[in-house]
Structure 1
């Protein structure tokens, strides 16, 4: 048996213990979210409500307050906690530590083996968790994602859809070039995340891809459900954050890290790094065109 096969067997067998015999409708799960001072209160409220409207409702929502929050955001959290005191677990960080550190601490506060990620400005469609839990449990997987749509104002009026790889082999190959998942769509086995080292703050802007690659390297089993189950909010700032000279150093640091860990080969490093640097150097309007027209399935308007 090859090393990767041994890791895959170990990852899936350890993580399946204790819950694989249960129907997915009986398995409790936690939702892991993080919010910081720049988030808009109405977006956070909509994101929380979308998890309450799931056909398979969460047993716990862990909300990490990543540093001090303005009164408007605190009011949303306090109101939600008052209405759902047994559901909400607040993790309050004294100062802003960044997404990787916030999610690492939040993961440790999740009391269930199954953990669903959700961003504080996105929207989960009502059947998201039912479909992801069914696949995760029935196929004995370690983490599951889905396609997503992008929207500006209304989740029911998307502007683009992702074209992510679906099966294990294609996901592993794709992960050598681009992120094969959309973070807010992910559902994990907590034990698999911790076995891979949990979230890290080492690579700013690449906290999710870093974790995914470490889990894949550990032999974790995964699929992407080939339908959009989450709507991600985008605007001009969304694409602006993925460009500029300053962003190049984060791209470089992450890609060099993947090379040093031997997850990327030298040819893969070159094929991944050069196109990303080119996109970083584009004007924001052109970069937006590349993301929405060339790197997505298509537009809806």
Structure 2
């Protein structure tokens, strides 16, 4: 890929019809405080001016692949993994902005902690004009991430840097479109140490052309298949009803299940983990309590606090009133 000395980091960025934002994304990588990387850009058959914009950049760190036809995001990402030669692979999206110290801080962490194979960060969500919408938080430590990931993706995809050998071992799965990263990161998380840095290292753009806005149904099916993989660590068999209940915790607007069914499912998770010891029990029980309370809030039930306090999910931990208030205010 490069005539320079062995490069530690390959930045992988797929592009599809990103003419509005791709120049800013490229510039944000080229202006990183850590400069010694390869930048692999794969234009996946764009029909706009993305090719012209990418080709206008002249930098010996860039390797540009211009696919004449659209192969899809999963195929493009796997092509990128095969072509990447760095010891570490950093993901980047063509509509986001990497903050200047992103690569330096993630590389420092992974080199100082070789047992860790995946490192993400927190981020700031921005709109099409670059205006801040919200702050995007994720847990930081392996045990927290494993539990969080059981219910929702614990990593913001374009923030991650991963050990190349680990990420190539699993790759992106074509059968999990639009949540292919959720499965991949789940596989890595269940097999290695992982982390998110307690810093916001990316501006994550949200707009109408986002995959999650256009392909929601396929995305939800892929989410459920990933959840089935994760639940298989706790249960010998995961039936469709319990899988749908579990997914409704992430997307309660799509549920028709009773509160009793949801509560029972969450209790079963805690009970199964006491036997299997897959997840840290205290962290898991705290997450179950939070998800149960949030589910009750979204159900518009008038007796939310009472149902929460009377639930076995609450009694799992012997919380005092001060702790309850703190939990509910989080």
Which TM-score bucket, shorter chain as reference?
Answer: 0.7 to 0.9
TM-score computed with the length of structure 2 as normaliser: 0.67
Q: Give me the whole-angstrom Cα distance separating, in 2, the residues matched to 1:167 and 1:121.
A: 28
Measured in 2, the distance between the counterparts of 1:221 and 1:154 equals 37
- Higher CA-based Rg: 2
- 1:52 equivalent in structure 2: 30
Q: Which runs of no fewer than 5 residues in structure 1 stay unpaired?
A: 1-25, 282-289, 295-301
1:278 CA drift (Å): 3.4
C-alpha contact (below 8 Å) 1:30/1:58 kept by paired residues? no
Instruction: Tell me how far 1:175 sits from its aligned partner.
Output: 0.9
Structure 2 partner of 1:72? 49
Q: CA RMSD in A?
A: 2.8
CA contact (8 A) 1:60 1:87 kept: yes
* SS in structure 1 of the partner of residue 49 of structure 2: helix
State the Cα distance separating 1:179 from its structure 2 match. Answer: 0.2
1:221 to 178, 181, 193: 193
1:112 and 2:48 matched: no
Q: How does 1:214-293 map to 2 (within 5 A)?
A: 214-218=187-191, 220-236=192-208, 238=210, 241=213, 247-256=219-228, 258-259=230-231, 262-263=232-233, 265=235, 266=238, 269=243, 272-279=246-253
Which residue, out of 137, 149, 171, partners 1:198? 171
Count, aligned residues: 247
Output aligned runs, 1:3-14, within 5 Å. Answer: none
Instruction: Give the drift of 1:53.
Output: 1.0
Counterpart residue number, 1:299: none
Task: Find the residue that maps to 1:188 and give its secondary structure.
Answer: strand
Taking a change above 3 Å as real, the CA distance of residues 52 and 194 of structure 1, as seen in their structure-2 partners, is same
2:104 to 114, 117, 130: 130
2:26 touches 2:94 (CA, 8 Å); kept in 1? yes
Residues 271 and 161 of structure 1: CA distance in aligned 2, closer, same or farther (over 3 Å)? farther
Q: How far, CA to CA, are the matches of 2:234 and 2:91 in structure 1?
A: 26
1:31 and 1:58 in contact (8 A); partners too: no
Name the structure 2 match of 1:148.
123
Deviations 1:93-147 (A, max 9, x none): 3432221211111011112111110000000000111111111111222110000
Instruction: State the TM-score, normalizing by the size of structure 1.
Output: 0.73
1:258 positional shift: 4.7
- Equivalent pair of 1:198/1:211 in contact (CA under 8 Å): yes
Task: Indicate the larger mover: 157-166 or 184-193.
Answer: 157-166
Which moved further from structure 2: 239-248 or 268-277? 239-248
**Structure 2 CA distance for partners of 1:87 and 1:180, relative to 1, 3 Å:** same
- Unaligned 5+ residue runs, structure 2? 1-5, 256-293, 299-330
Greater mean alpha carbon deviation, residues 269-278 or residues 167-176: 269-278
Separation in 1, partners of 2:73, 2:234: 24
Given the alignment, which residue of 165, 174, 181 partners 2:155?
A: 181
C-alpha distance in 2 between matches for 1:205 and 1:256: 16
State the distance in 2 between where 1:175 and 1:58 align. 32
Please tell me whether the aligned partners of residues 99 and 201 of structure 1 are also in contact (alpha carbons under 8 angstroms). no
Provide the secondary structure at the position in 2 that maps to 1:63. Answer: strand
How many angstroms does 1:27 deviate by? 6.4
Q: Whose relative contact order is higher, 1 or 2, with alpha carbons under 8 Å and at least 6 apart?
A: 1
CA contact (8 A) 1:244 1:280 kept: no
Structure 1 CA distance for aligned equivalents of residues 66 and 211 of structure 2: 29
